Each structure stands twice: as structure tokens, then as C-alpha cells.
Structure 1
Amino acid sequence: MTAPAPVETPAPARVGYGALLRTPGAWTFLAPAFAARLPYAMLSIGIMLLVLDNGGSYGTAGLVAAASAVAQAFIGPQTGRLADRYGQTAILLPGILVHAVSVGALIALAVGHAPTWTLYLAAASAGASVPQIGAMVRARWVAKFSGPAGSPQKLNTAFAFESVTDEFTFVIGPVLATAIATTVTPSAALITEAALTVAGGLAFAAQRGTAPARHPKTAGAERVSALTSPGVRLLAGSFLGVGSVFGALQVSITAFARAAGQESLNGIVYGVFAGGSMLAGVLYGMIAWRRSARQRMLISYALLVLGCSTLWAMPNLATLAIAGLVCGLAIAPTLITGYTLVESLVSDGAKTEAFTWLTGAIGLGLAVGSTVAGRMIDGHGPSAGFLVPIVGAGLGLVALITLRHLLVPQTQQSRTVARSSSATAGATGRSGGSNAGSGQLVGASAGGAKG
């Protein structure tokens, strides 16, 4: 008998950015979302420059910026959870108002040389009220591609596009904030940040038609947080390491540029780092990957650690910019893959919350990175701050490698349980009537897994 010809697995379909952007209704939320998320890249560096301009040390500036980032890390996921339940618009509107007032208070306190603890409070309020636009946009893409027209390839391209957008804001944001701070005042940079948040946030909130469906709490049902998933916790932990890279580089590049007498180039050098990530993100989204997302996560994170390992040894701004470019090439692939994985680890009613946990973890890592780097710089000089990303990203890589079995999507877990239950049910049925009760229980388990 002739053996059947092997069935070839078709190559994954590639979805281009053009097709993605032609998705009906996409531009109605993408344009205002860009304006609303640009301030995210301006806030930390704006706070740091404001404190430094008003007599604060690098350590103090890093701590005040850290207060903002820590508050965002812990409050952001709660606003994401509320957005899943009550809708994005209902959560955005009060948050935007609180953010504008908080930034205004921070500026007044810093310029008035108020006690440092008051700066921490104002910065924490400003960070806690930052609109979670990036997570909300990703949730809208999930809603767009969760029906019959959706596909994993479309969602992967959408997440790649969002990562590129994030990185583009980190190219423009620090440059814009630094330019305004050095040519006008640091206060003007933060005023611009607040104005963009209000204008972009209100325009985004007005686009109700593309918002994902609300998932209100039903009577008697227990609301489960996305953080109960071990895989989400692992990814959040690894994103702490990515955040430490952002935070440490912001402080360290600023200190390095000041020590070289070229403070105005601070934003440009950091923009080169973000530009490398943006370039990698564009290319990443154009490839139809055959490797699993879990494998890609491990590879890109390992490359991030490798890229960070050279920053501390750079002798001048030119070589630092080149090293930062190389380091940045691993950022976007890591973020894209992380968001792709986390989307598959939680149910529909917790996706915005899950995205905000990752965004919040980046913010918390940024806070820790900027604080530790600031202390290192005060005690040992600008280059010492570049050791922080190596340690932060290195710990994240160790966690990913050790616990990589937790990054199995729910669909794969369900199929595995279903196959195992079906096989057990078949064996039980063949063993005779004495095990009929067990067979019924196994059958029920299989049905639950498929459901």
C-alpha cells in the first residue's frame, strides 16, 4: 500500500500594515490615541527636569519621577479593570481632569520650592491619573479581530503597530519635552504634557463606537483579576526588567549629557534608543513568524540583556547613541510578544486589565530603575547608572527561562485537558460497567474543558 503523502503545514499568512490601517473605524480611535499617549513619554523626563531646574539632586529628581511611575503601576491596572466593567469613556473622563489638576499642582509646588514630600504626593496623583490609552487601544484591536474576520496574524500585526506607535512617542516625547524645557522652561514642558492629555483623551473618549463591550459584574459571580493567571504575573515581572531599562536610561543619559556639557542632546540620544526599538517593531510586524510567541519572547529578551551589557563602557555621547540603538532593537520585539502572549492568557472580560498590568509593570520598573540609577550616579558618576539595566533585564530573563512553562495560552491548555479527558473517558468506557460513574465524571470534565 502506498503511504499517504505528508501534509505540508501552510506558511502563516502575513498581514501588512496597510491592510491593518484600512480596517473600518480604525483611524477614528488611532489619531486621538496618538495625541493622548504622547504625554506618557513626556511625563517622567518632564518631572525630572522640573525638579532639577528647581534645585533638586539627581536622586531627588529620580524619586519624584518614581513616585509618579509607582502610582501609575498600581492604579493603572485598577482603572483598566474598571474600564472592562463600566466602559472606557466612563473611566477616562474623570481621570483626565484629575491628571490636569495634579500636573498643575506639581508645577506650582516645585516652582514655589515646597517641601519635597509635597512633590511626591503631587507626582503620585499625576501618575495615578495617567489615561491608560495604550491598553485601551489594544483592547479595541482585540474587539475588532475577535469575530469571524479576526485572526492571530491580524492581532500580531496590530500589536506590532501599537508597539511601533509607543516607540515613536518615546522618540518624539523626550525630544519635545527636553526642547521645551531648555528653550522655555521645564514648567512649560509639563503644561504641554497636560494639554495633550486633555485634548487627546477627550477626543479618544468620544469614539464610543469602536470601544469594546462592557463586561459588568453579574449577581453572584466572582470577579477574577487578570493577575490570578500565573502567566500574567510572570510577564508582568519580566516587564519590570524592561521598565528598569527605560528608567535607568532616562536618568543616566541625562546625567551623561550634562557631564559632557551637552545637555540639549539628552533627548536626541534617548530618541535614538527608542528609534532602534521602533525600527525593530516595524520589521517584526511584517514577518509571518513560525516560532511560537513563547520562543520569540525568550530570544528577544536575551538579546535585550546582551544589548544593555555594553552601555556602561561607552566613552562619549556618539558611542552611547550607537550602543543605545543596538539595545533598543530588542525592546519592541519583547513588548509585542509580551502583549501577544498576555492576550491569550486571560478571558475577554479581563483583557484591558491584563494589558494595564504589563504597562504598569513597565512604569514600576521605570520607577525602580530611575531611583537606583539616580543614587548610583550621585555616588559613582554618570556611567554607573548604566549598570542598572543589566541587572534589571538579567533578572527578568532568569525568571522567563525558569518559569517559561507558565506562558501556555488558555486555548492550548483547554485542548490538552480535553484530549486527556477524552482519552481517559474512552479507557474508562472499555473497562466495564463497574467504572461507569467515573466515566461520567470524566466526560463532564471534558465537556467543561471544551466549554
Structure 2
Amino acid sequence: MAGYRDVLRTPGVGRIIAAQLTARFPNGMISLAVLLYIEHVTGSYGAAGLVLAATSIGQAIAGPVTSRWMGIWGMRRVLTITLVVCALAITTLALVEMPVPVYMALGLVIGLSTPPIQSAARTIYPKLVSARMLTPLFSLDASLQEIIWIVAPVVITLVATQVGTVQALLLIVVVLAGGGAWFILSPEVGRVRIPRSRRSLGKVLTKPPVLLATVIGFLLIGACAAVEAGVVSTFGHGGLEAGIVLALFSVGSLAGGLSFGHIPIGPWAMARRLAIVTIGLSLTMLSLQVWWLGGTLVLAGIGIAPALAVLFAMTSASVKFSDTAEAFGWVATGQLIGAAAGSSIAGFLIDGVGPQGAYVAATGFAAVGLLVAIVFVRGFPDLRRRDPSPIPDTEPVPQIT
């Protein structure tokens, strides 16, 4: 923990971490809130699913595009515009009744305008700390984001069921606006300028570590999404057990990230961490009893945040600083598509064979990720004797003060 204390003592780091976590807190709320609201208004979970699909498509498209725009127009301008558009779209969704196709169009706008806070924060990190602190910082970030997935769904479900679905959506707008403003107005955001990339959009994916990070992010988050579907199917939407088991999954990830974040990252680091995830998920298939699932998911969770930390570090270390935001945008898009694929495949298997099918799907996603990490181990950078800072651009980068 001493390494994390050193990181948090660095001026600006604690503020940026807290601000970006607050700004991203709605990410853990929006899907549930939209699902509950659209179902309440239309009486159809199918309609709610269509709106959620449109939102996810928008987010997947926006990831690399809006992240790249930050190098053209500046972080604050892009973040402010997307924040305003997204907040207005969610407010309109909450207050105006409309046909399902219009709800879908509005969901697409919400997805397209989701502020690229994650890409911005992880682009700023290398400018805030020394090279030796960057790996622990990525690990701390990957660990603390579990707070979003532990707390946010509980909060939004309580508000939606006890107060109202409209109020739940408006709460998201308030948190998004407040957290986003806090992040945008942070001095560190103004001091870091991303140079305009000279590469065409998508060219960064020709870097093997970025492509591997995107593919493994897709598989890892796909496994997590399948687990969530399986747990909900096992215990029901209103079951207290489902919340406990999913919280234990996130607690395992938080503990793993904080425990192993200081370990140097070599080419085999991803394979070792995904092996933990795969073993834990494979054990879930032995029993659906609540404490067995909770224990096995704690084990699986221990590898998740450390694996994400490897993704962030290898992405940062493999590209020029001008390409970091777009690279992180592609990684985020891979994770979003993985979440949709994991949920969909798990859903079909649940309908076909029952809740066990979801855990089979989760184990399959993780196992394929492990196989990719082993087969393409030479594509992973060795960061044990070098820092994961981005490759410097060849031209001077002016600083805005």
C-alpha cells in the first residue's frame, strides 16, 4: 500500500481520480435506469432492450471518435460539448413521452455523446506521475472503478423503485453534470494538451499491443457481463442474494487490484491474471448455491482489475502520446461490445439450458482470452525494465497554463 500512498500524494492525482470516478459514476446507472424507465412507459422489456442496444451502439462508435477529437479541438471543448448534449438527451428521455423508434434515436444520441472521460483521464495520468508510479496508478484506477459497479446499480435501483424512474434518470443528469464539471475544470485537464494525431482513424489498431488490448478487453468484459446475467437469472432481479454475489465479484476485483498492482508487468502477466479469472469462473459451474458462487466469483474477481491494469499499461506504452486517447477509445469500445456480446450469448444459453449456461459462456470468454494471451505472448510488451509512458511525439507540445 506504500506505493499507492506515494501515488496519491502526488499533486493532482487524487483530485483527477476522484473527479473522473464521479463523472463516470452514471456509467453504472444508465443501463438499469433506461431499462426500468422504458419498461415502465411502454410495458415492454423488448422495447427497453432495443433502446439499450441503440445506446450501446452509440457508445461503441463514439469511443475512438470523440477521444480522437480531443487531440483536434482540445479536451475541455470536446468534454464540455459531449457532456451538455448527453445531459440534454437524458433529460429529454426522462420528461418527454414518445414512440419507441424515437426513444431508440434518443438512446443513440446518448451513446454517441457519452463524454470520453475514461480516455481523457488515462491520457492525463502519464503527465501527472513519474514513470515508476505509472503502473501502480493504472492498477489503482482499475481497482477503484469497481466502486462504480458495486454502488451505482444499487443506488439507481433504489431510486427507480422507491421514488420513480423519471427521478432516477434526472439523478443521472445531476451526477453527470456535477462530476463532469469537476473533471473538466480540474487544472490538470487544462494543462495537458493532446497533439493532433498524424495517423488516420483506426491506424492505431495496427499496433499489436493495442489490438491485443482491445480483443482481450472484449473477452474479459464479455465474461463479466455473462456472469452478471447468470447471477440475476440464478437469484432473480429482486433477490438480495444476487446483489451480494455481484458485490463479492467486484470486491474480489478491488482486492486483487490493490494487492497485485505493484507487480512489474512482463509478457506473461496477462496470461497469469486471466488464468485466475478462468479458474474461478470454471468453478462456478459446480454449484449454484449462493456462498459457493460468492466464493468462486471472489477468486475470479481477483484477476480482473490486475488484468485491466495490464491492458491500460500496455496500451499507454505502445503508442505515441498523440494517439493515446484514440487507443484508449478503441479499448473502451472493445469492452462495450464485449459487454453486449456476453449478455446476449448468456441470455440465449439461459433460455436454452438454464442459469448454468451463463457461467459456461463466462468461462468460455475467459478461456479464449487466456488462450489469446498465451498464443500471442510475444505481442505483449515487457514493462519490467521500462515504464508504461507513451512514446514521445517528435515535435514540441505546447502546454496550456
- Give the Cα separation in 1 of the matches to 2:230 and 2:51: 16
Letter in 2 for 1:284: F
Which of residues 256, 259, 270 is equivalent to 1:283?
A: 259
- Give the Cα separation in 1 of the matches to 2:104 and 2:244: 28
Say if 2:31 is the partner of 1:44.
Answer: yes
Match of 1:126 in 2: 110
- Displacement of 1:196 after TM fit? 0.8
TM alignment of 1:113-152, pairs within 5 A: 114-115=99-100, 117-145=101-129, 150-151=130-131
- Give the Cα separation in 1 of the matches to 2:57 and 2:330: 12
The answer to whether the 8 A contact 1:62-1:370 is kept is: no
Which of residues 59, 69, 75 is equivalent to 1:88?
A: 75
Say if 2:282 is the partner of 1:309.
Answer: yes
Q: Which TM-score applies when normalising by structure 1?
A: 0.77
Match of 1:231 in 2: 209
Match of 1:27 in 2: 14
Give the 3 Å change call, closer, same or farther, for CA 402–324 of structure 1 in structure 2. same
Match of 1:8 in 2: none
The answer to whether the 8 A contact 1:277-1:332 is kept is: yes
Structure 2: any 5+ residue segments left out of the alignment? 387-393, 395-401
Give the 3 Å change call, closer, same or farther, for CA 268–52 of structure 1 in structure 2. farther
Alignment length, in residue pairs? 385
Match of 2:192 in 1: 213
- Give the Cα separation in 1 of the matches to 2:229 and 2:44: 13
The answer to whether the 8 A contact 1:96-1:130 is kept is: yes
Deviation per residue, 1:350-403 (Å, 9 max, x gap): 112212222221111011112222333344433322322122222222222222
- Displacement of 1:346 after TM fit? 0.4
- Give the Cα separation in 2 of the matches to 1:229 and 1:103: 36
Which of residues 183, 197, 210 is equivalent to 2:176?
A: 197
The answer to whether the 8 A contact 1:63-1:370 is kept is: no
* Secondary structure, counterpart of 1:16 in structure 2: helix
- Give the Cα separation in 2 of the matches to 1:269 and 1:350: 38
Match of 1:257 in 2: 235
Say if 2:160 is the partner of 1:181.
Answer: yes
The answer to whether the 8 A contact 1:67-1:120 is kept is: yes
Letter in 1 for 2:299: V
Letter in 2 for 1:96: L
Give the 3 Å change call, closer, same or farther, for CA 50–272 of structure 1 in structure 2. farther
Match of 2:378 in 1: 405
Give the 3 Å change call, closer, same or farther, for CA 399–353 of structure 1 in structure 2. same
Match of 1:6 in 2: none
Letter in 1 for 2:112: A
Match of 2:391 in 1: none
Match of 2:268 in 1: 295
- Displacement of 1:132 after TM fit? 2.3
Which of residues 327, 349, 354 is equivalent to 1:381?
A: 354
Which of residues 306, 310, 326 is equivalent to 2:299?
A: 326
Which of residues 119, 137, 142 is equivalent to 1:163?
A: 142
- Give the Cα separation in 2 of the matches to 1:79 and 1:204: 17
Give the 3 Å change call, closer, same or farther, for CA 67–284 of structure 1 in structure 2. farther
Say if 2:318 is the partner of 1:339.
Answer: no
The answer to whether the 8 A contact 1:15-1:157 is kept is: no
- Give the Cα separation in 1 of the matches to 2:334 and 2:272: 20
Letter in 1 for 2:210: V
- Displacement of 1:252 after TM fit? 2.8
- Give the Cα separation in 2 of the matches to 1:375 and 1:95: 35
Match of 1:55 in 2: 43
- Give the Cα separation in 1 of the matches to 2:381 and 2:13: 30
Say if 2:360 is the partner of 1:372.
Answer: no
- Give the Cα separation in 1 of the matches to 2:384 and 2:353: 50
User: How large is the Cα RMSD of the aligned pairs?
Assistant: 2.9
Runs of 4+ in 1 over 6 A off after TM superposition: 409-413
Letter in 2 for 1:255: S
Letter in 2 for 1:276: G
- Give the Cα separation in 1 of the matches to 2:15 and 2:3: 19
Bigger radius of gyration, 1 or 2?
Answer: 1
* Secondary structure, counterpart of 2:126 in structure 1: helix
Letter in 1 for 2:113: S
Q: Percent of counterpart pairs with the same letter?
A: 25
Which of residues 84, 89, 92 is equivalent to 1:97?
A: 84
Letter in 2 for 1:214: R
Stretch of structure 1 that moved more, 361-370 or 95-104: 95-104
The answer to whether the 8 A contact 2:83-2:115 is kept is: yes
- Displacement of 1:159 after TM fit? 0.4
